[in-house]
Amino acid sequence: MAKHKKYIFVTGGVLSSIGKGIAAASIGMLLEQRGIKVTMVKMDPYLNVDPGTMSPFQHGEVFVLDDGTETDLDLGHYQRFVQNATFTRKNSFTAGRVYEAVIKRERAGGYLGKTVQVIPHVTDQIKTNIKAAVEDADIAIIEVGGTVGDIEGLPFLEAIRQIKHEEGAENVLFAHLTLVPYISTAGELKTKPTQHSVKELREIGIQPDILICRTDRPLDKEIKSKIGLFCNVAGDCVFSAQDAASIYDVPLLFAEEGLDDKVTEKLGIWAGRPDLSKWKAMVEVIHKPKHEVKIGIVGKYTDWRDTYKSISESLVHGGVANHSSVIPVYIDSEEIEKGNLKILQEVHGILVPGGFGERGIEGKIKAIEYARSEAIPFFGICLGMQLAVIEFARHVCGLEHANSAEFKPENSQNVIDLMEMQKGVTELGGTMRLGAYLCQIVTKHAGKSTHAYQAYGKDKVSERHRHRYEVSNEFRARLEENGLVVCGQHIDKKNGIQLVEMIELSNHPWFLGCQFHPELQSRPLDPHPLFVQFIKASLSSAKGMQTAMKGIK
């Protein structure tokens, strides 16, 4: 165990999306499995205060924490890999938040009339944020967003340079992730991009202790020695980050290379060997599943898969629990609007995820109607649940104009609406229900256990939310009279109202919607029960389809 606070700073060079988040999370997982108390921090150099208002096409999903903080998707990777850490607002901050704090302090006279500058005031605030986030851990792994050489990232790099000077070289390690491309026409791996990336770092006073080289093939000892020589790093401190079939392979590949051994050696940490047996067993199922199931994800951001990152990973986790591989089939809801339902006939389960805005909504509703009428397992998340309520209201309850106030604010049949206490709030995000809320599960309906209770096995759960609209209590009785089962609800004692959290259909093999985002709490070794049950139901659907096809033949 570490006797003093230790820091690992992970930087990246050459290009974005090189895999810093997965690399950092993998190191964290390996150290945690040695019995070290680990925490992780993401620092992003953009000026948005948080990613909550950023386009999914640019930034991917927004990962919400229990305390309601809207963060970068890398926090999702951290949570999936590091099992025992609890992440809060302190574990993710942007340049926007840093500058906001500095300006507020300046306006309040906190700098006593001094000229406020990037150095030392902005860099001091960055260091303050880092130390606030890591106070309860033995070792902190801090990922610096962006790419070395970006002008907006310079204050963050200067801050971490100062931390090594202040805390001592024995307590701080710099790990730099870079690219070693293979040029097929030359038949060679090229180290020059890595050399230039390290040169950029060294020019601002940071000498990497460890190099992690992203590559599509193993690096031999000769290549590693060459990289080390030109980058002023020992050859045994250069490691391959080879492309992997699954992100969950990465910690095992790092362990095979001895990366965690080198980290503990460099930081003077005495700890036991990591126990990777459960992780290896999980990865074994991913690579050698007994079954296969196709899940249709009906959305409008299907060209940018990072928008649904946590959902796609949760499907993998649910598949592992069922010894099955899950093949995600991304379906553009606007194609469904055009009447192209054929693709829905090729999947064994249909999932409609969350989202905002009216585009593609009618296509999602058609997909939900297909799942309901054809007895295909259905899972609606957030907006997906709301649209399931709209579809049920239109086609079962006779409310042909049923809709949401998000899309038709003046409509008289809005079964989805803002609650009274939310109306009139104009600040963007002011009406959002963000973070963890308690959901009370209905255990039985009509003498049978609900699908919700069968999944959870308990009557109270805490789940994370990110939404603005709710099922309208004005229409709730009519919906229930026609067969919609409200199988989970949140009791808002402050405002004296009950909010629908989960719905299902009792006359359907598996049809369930939830207002919250279960994907935000799923882990590979602890899959979310709703995803486990959805995949289980979809596997039964797949077997039924196969039997039917044999009958046709």
CA dihedral 434→131→112→151, nearest 10 degrees, is: -80
Active site residue 106: no
* DSSP code at position 5: -
Let me know the angle formed at the C-alpha of 460 by 458 and 461, rounded to the nearest 5 degrees.
Answer: 100
Active site residue 519: yes
Q: SS in 3 state form for 497-516?
A: EEEEEEEEECCCCCEEEECC
Ramachandran angles phi, psi of 219, nearest 5°: -95, 125
Active site residue 517: yes
CA 551 and chain centroid, separation = 42
* Contact partners, residue 97, CB within 8 Å, separation at least 6: 49, 50, 129
CA distance 238 to 224: 6
Of the candidates 122, 119, 250, the residue with the CA atom closest to the CA atom of residue 177: 250
CA distance 491 to 500: 9
* Contact partners, residue 550, CB within 8 Å, separation at least 6: none
**Residue 120, preceding bond cis, omega within 30 degrees?**
yes
- Give bridge partners of residue 471 from the DSSP assignment: 416
Catalytic pick among 213, 382, 439, 487: 382
Is 330 buried (19+), middle (13-18) or exposed (0-12) by CB count in 10 A?
Answer: middle
CA distance 248 to 250: 5
CA pseudo-torsion sign 405, 408, 413, 416: negative
* DSSP code at position 48: S
Query: SS3 of 334, please?
Result: helix
Residues designated catalytic = 382, 517, 519
